[in-house]
């Protein structure tokens, strides 16, 4: 099983579902088991949860920075 591919697949599924991210944050293990029933190993489930959580946090931080206009300012520093 390719964890990166699995994480990307799960992120697509939970972000396309209404309240999917909220449900994941409330009970990540159940969401993983719902969308990825073939994954049975607890270590794999934990790795997937950690990776998805990290991606969600990064996206949230990026959104907040963009809302504040900071991303444009950072891009300006590097001539972008």
- Contacts for 33-37 with beta carbons within 8 Å, 24 or more apart? 35/9, 35/10, 36/6, 36/9, 36/10
Q: What is the mean pLDDT of residues 25-32?
A: 94
What are the φ/ψ torsions at residue 15 (nearest 5 degrees)? -80, -20
80 compared with 59, residue with greater pLDDT: 59
Name the pTM for this structure.
0.72
- In this predicted structure, what is the pLDDT of residue 15? 87
Closest by Cα among 33, 34, 43, 59 to 3: 43
- Determine contact, residues 51/7, Cβ cutoff 8 Å: yes
Tokens at residue 77, please?
A: 């520093």
What stretch of H or E contains 22?
helix 20-26
């Amino acid at each position: 099983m390719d964890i990166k591919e699995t994480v990307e697949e799960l992120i697509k599924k939970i972000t396309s579902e209404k309240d999917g991210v909220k449900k994941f944050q409330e009970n990540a293990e159940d969401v993983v088991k719902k969308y990825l029933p073939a994954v049975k190993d607890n270590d794999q489930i934990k790795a997937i949860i950690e990776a998805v959580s990290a991606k969600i946090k990064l996206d949230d931080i990026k959104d907040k920075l963009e809302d504040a206009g900071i991303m444009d300012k950072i891009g300006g520093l590097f001539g972008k």
